[in-house]
Amino acid sequence: MELNKDQQTVKLRPAGWALVMMTLVALTLITYLVALTRNEFAKHNYIGRSDQQVYTITISGEGEVAATPDIAQINLGVTTERKDVAEAQQENSDKMNNLITQLKGLNVAAEDIKTTNYSIYPLYNYFPDRPQELRGYEVSQSVTVKIRDLDKISDVLALAGPTGVNQVGGLSFTIDDPEELKQQAREEALKNAKTKAESLASIAGVRLGRLVSFSEDFYGAPVPVYRDFAAGQGYGGGGAPTVEPGSQDVIVNVTVTYEVL
């Protein structure tokens, strides 16, 4: 560095200028890093939060579609009592095998006949003044039959007498493929929910924005049909009753949330 006494000025050599510039750059970089670190800590406190408050309306809607069931399901069983367990098993099996053969003769597919129970129980006579006495054995077997041709329901029930079936129950109707009906009900439910949301928004003096959430529940359980098949119909060679499947409601409930503008 040179000092001019006349002009009272200070001159820096090139090495001095470089040192000053490096110092200024370092200070600027440190200031930037401190600010960046502070901003990152501040962002951490707002993770998961929206930059802008979003107001919403949540509303529910229901859609219902009526359809005729196309599948019937029924439980058929044979119970046999004999003194000898092997004899009871053989007789029971003969009756059940005959039933299955007759069902297949009505074009009921093998995969639509499902064994749901097979049991053997000892039977006793009970006396107040002496020990119980074994009187024989009870063998039971039952199948669940899915009937895809509803015109065959009465024919299936009519098999009870000739084949020795003595347990009939659980007749119900359902829809084999409800997906298309569910979609129709879903669309109706969404329309219903949107109409209700628009009405509410109009009353509140706001406008609906985009749909931000959606959930649904589906209802369409098999419809049970209760009949007294034993009362002279089906057992002992009596005529089978006429069974009507009626209709079944496929219902979808939705809950939707709309943004409010």
Q: With respect to CATH, is domain 55-66+179-220+254-260 assigned 3.30.110.170?
A: yes
CB burial of 122-149 (b: ≥16 within 10 Å; e: otherwise) equals eeeeeeeeeeeeeebbbbbbbbbbbbee
55-66+179-220+254-260 and 71-176+227-245 have identical folds: no
137 pLDDT band (50/70/90 cuts)? Answer: very high
Give the pLDDT confidence score for residue 22 in this predicted structure: 76
Question: What percentage of the chain carries pLDDT values higher than 70?
Answer: 77
Q: How many CB atoms lie within 10 A of CB 3?
A: 9
> What tokens appear for 233 in the block?
């119909």
pLDDT at 228 over 60: no
pLDDT at 121 over 90: yes
Give the pLDDT confidence score for residue 11 in this predicted structure: 53
- Distance (Å, whole) CA 115 – CA 149: 20
Determine how β-strand 223-224 pairs with β-strand 133-147.
Answer: unpaired
Q: 115 forms bridges with which residues in the sheet?
A: 143
Give the pLDDT confidence score for residue 93 in this predicted structure: 96
Query: Domain limits of the chain?
Result: 2-44, 55-66+179-220+254-260, 71-176+227-245
Mean pLDDT value of segment 136-150 = 95
Question: What percentage of the chain carries pLDDT values higher than 90?
Answer: 52
pLDDT at 99 over 90: yes
Give the pLDDT confidence score for residue 51 in this predicted structure: 57
pLDDT at 240 over 50: yes
Q: What integer best gives the mean pLDDT of the chain?
A: 83
CB contact at 8 A, 255 and 62: no
Return the half-sphere exposure (C-beta side, CA atoms, 13 A cut-off) of residue 226. Answer: 0
Q: 184 forms bridges with which residues in the sheet?
A: none
Candidate CATH numbers 3.40.630.30, 1.10.3720.10, 3.50.50.60, 3.30.70.2970; the one for domain 71-176+227-245: 3.30.70.2970
List phi, psi (to 5°) of 38.
-60, -40
CB contact at 8 A, 1 and 16: yes
Give the pLDDT confidence score for residue 40 in this predicted structure: 67
The 10s digit of each residue's pLDDT in 162-206 is 999 999 998 999 888 888 899 999 999 999 999 999 999 999 899
The 10s digit of each residue's pLDDT in 43-92 is 555 555 555 677 888 999 999 998 889 999 999 999 999 999 999 999 99
Give the pLDDT confidence score for residue 85 in this predicted structure: 95
**Strand order, beta sheet including 133-147:** 113-125, 133-147, 71-82, 167-174, 223-224
Give the pLDDT confidence score for residue 19 in this predicted structure: 75
Give the pLDDT confidence score for residue 21 in this predicted structure: 75
Q: What's the pTM?
A: 0.62
pLDDT at 227 over 50: no
